[in-house]
Amino acid sequence: MKPEFENIPLVKTDKRFEIEVNGHYAFIDYRETTHQIALIHTEAEPELAGTGAAAAVVEKTLNYIEESGKKLLPYCPYVFAFIKKHPEWKRIVDERFDRYDKL
């Protein structure tokens, strides 16, 4: 994560994880059960394109999931690609995830 995002807090609402950067948002829609968090869709406002904000919200969310003790279901293609690029995060993916062997 780029240093400029390290001190920006991750906010969890009832339907998304988000960070705010200069009045603009990067967020991930999610669904949560007792033991799992499914990440559905990642998006950053156009003003944040190319800044690394989307990657920052993903990394902050993965840290949150790990700290919560829940397992990840990376349905979002951006999150899936992020984990392929950073395979150390596979440790929090639920082994029952249907594309686990593709990570």
Which H or E element spans position 21? strand 16-21
DSSP state for residue 86 in the 8-state scheme:
S
- pLDDT at position 53 is 98
pLDDT tens-digit readout, 17-28: 999 999 999 999
The C-alpha atoms of residue 88 and residue 31 are separated, in whole angstroms, by 23
> Do 26 and 45 touch, CB atoms closer than 8 A?
yes
pLDDT of residue 76: 98
Please state the rounded mean pLDDT for residues 18-45: 97
- Grouping H, G, I as helix, E, B as strand and the rest as coil, residue 23 is coil
Q: What are phi and psi of 70, to 5 degrees?
A: -90, 165
Residue-level pLDDT at 27:
98
Cβ proximity of 1 and 55 under 8 Å: yes
pLDDT of amino acid 42: 98
pLDDT of residue 41: 98
**Pairing state between β 11-12 and 16-21:** antiparallel
- Digit-coded pLDDT (tens) for 50-97: 999 999 999 999 999 999 999 999 999 999 999 999 999 999 999 999
For residue 8, the tally of other CB atoms under 10 A from its CB is 16
